Amino acid sequence: MKTSKPKTVGRSLADLKKLQHRVRQDLSPVPAPAGPQARKRPRPPDPGGKLPTPATNKTSIPEEAVSSLDPSDRAWLRHSLRDVAPLKKQAQNLAPSRPAASAEQLELRRRHAIGAPINTPALPQASDQYVSVQGEANDAQHLRPGCGPDVLRDLERNRWPIESSLDLHGADLEQARERLDNFLRSCLEHGVRCVRIVHGTGYGSRNGEPVLRHAVRRWLTQLPSVLAFMECAPNEGGQGAVKLVLQSIPDTSV
């Protein structure tokens, strides 16, 4: 004989199943309804940043870019650019191109950069026995033939500022010749025009005669690069020094 379940128990089980089914429906995610995709709002420009450089056409910013902005951003942008005006086209003045350097000029620059000696026009070997037309009795000044008297006059009036100086104290004749040659080469190379040579009075030599004084002035009278020289004033060295003007060597470094 079968025993039947009470009706109240059967109803309770049915109600429990219905309740579980409702809970599962409530917990399951509801799919979003298909619809038109929302347009992403453009990022507004940074008020603290730099505005784009206006173009040279009538409108600084394309209308498509302005129309895609938010109305408030569009109003801010137009307000910020209210004083911007297109640039006027002007004729461009281009500087003439620099001519290419020759092979000789490039070699000169290369030797100058590495500190190598530059082929400056060599100074002729001055003779120790040479006597100028003026003679050693009047070696206080010298003017190269062909130069105007204004060169010597300007030198006397200090219109030529002394740019460099060489001191030959303590040197013998050979040392003084070499040092003077190197010094004048360097001055010609760098465009130095007025220099001073300090040779001393020579009264402290062994024989009591000014050897370097006569030798240096004798050498200077033989150099075509020396336009003029004269004995210095007492405050510049007096009888123990001469100041001279050198010729100008054309610049070949361009």
Q: Give this prediction's pTM.
A: 0.49
Provide the pLDDT for residue 236: 87
Provide the pLDDT for residue 24: 74
Distance (Å, whole) CA 22 – CA 2: 34
Angle in degrees, CA 107, 110, 115, rounded to 5:
125
Give Cα 219 distance to the centre of its chain.
41
Q: Is the pLDDT of residue 96 over 90?
A: no
* Residue with the larger pLDDT of the pair 90 and 166: 166
Is residue 195 within 8 A of residue 247, CB to CB? The reply is: no
Q: Is the pLDDT of residue 49 over 80?
A: no
Q: Is the pLDDT of residue 130 over 70?
A: no
Q: How many CB atoms lie within 10 A of CB 165?
A: 14
Band the pLDDT of 48: cuts 50, 70, 90. low
CB-based burial, 192-212: b 16+ in 10 Å, e otherwise: ebbbbbbbbebeeeeeeebbb
Q: Is the pLDDT of residue 57 over 50?
A: no
Residue 115 gets the label, from left (phi > 0), alpha (psi -120 to 50) or beta, of left
Packed helices 211-220 and 173-189: angle between N→C axes, nearest 10 degrees: 40
Give long-range contacts, CB 8 A cutoff, 24+ apart: 112-119: 112/253, 118/189
Residue for token digits 């002035």?
217
Q: Is the pLDDT of residue 76 over 80?
A: yes
End-to-end CA distance of the chain: 129
Tens digit of each residue's pLDDT (9 = 90 or more) over 154-210? 999 999 999 999 999 888 888 999 999 989 988 988 889 999 999 988 766 666 677
Distance (Å, whole) CA 47 – CA 170: 77
Distance (Å, whole) CA 227 – CA 195: 12
Band the pLDDT of 14: cuts 50, 70, 90. confident
Band the pLDDT of 62: cuts 50, 70, 90. low
| Mean of per-residue pLDDT scores for the chain | 75
Tens digit of each residue's pLDDT (9 = 90 or more) over 149-159? 999 999 999 99
CB-based burial, 47-72: b 16+ in 10 Å, e otherwise: eeeeeeeeeeeeebbeeeeeeebeee
